[in-house]
Amino acid sequence: MSLPVILRPAADAEISTTYHELEEIRIGLGQRFLASARVVFERIEDNPELYGLIWQDVRAARLKRFRHVVYYVVLDDRIEVLAVLHGSRDSGVWQSRV
């Protein structure tokens, strides 16, 4: 079952902010972050239930080489990404978006 991955505006903003912060640290690091996120999105799209449930209907997938986690829900016709956050962030941030 392949479903389209849709980023909620808050998740899209988090990706953009993280990209810019990482590019300031080292040029090219932001691009690697985006590539890592893209790989996770493709995996989720191809196999939405690949990653386990962590709270109610929310699933979480960790990016490789980054400490960021993609929080998402699987709906009937799409996958919605709630948040893309650093693993040390408070879980209340994404829980308020369910």
Q: Average of pLDDT values for 33-45?
A: 97
Let me know: does 54 contact 98? Beta carbons within 8 Å: no
- pLDDT value of residue 7: 98
* pLDDT over 90, % of the chain: 86
CATH code, domain with 71: 3.30.2310.20
Q: Domain range spanning residue 22?
A: 5-95
- Check residue 92 and give its pLDDT: 67
Identity of residue 98? V
pLDDT(87) > 90:
no
Rounded mean pLDDT of 15-40?
Answer: 97
* Total domains, the chain: 1
Torsion angle in degrees (nearest 10) through CA of 12, 45, 67, 52: 120
Q: CA angle at residue 83 from 82 to 89, to 5 degrees? A: 140
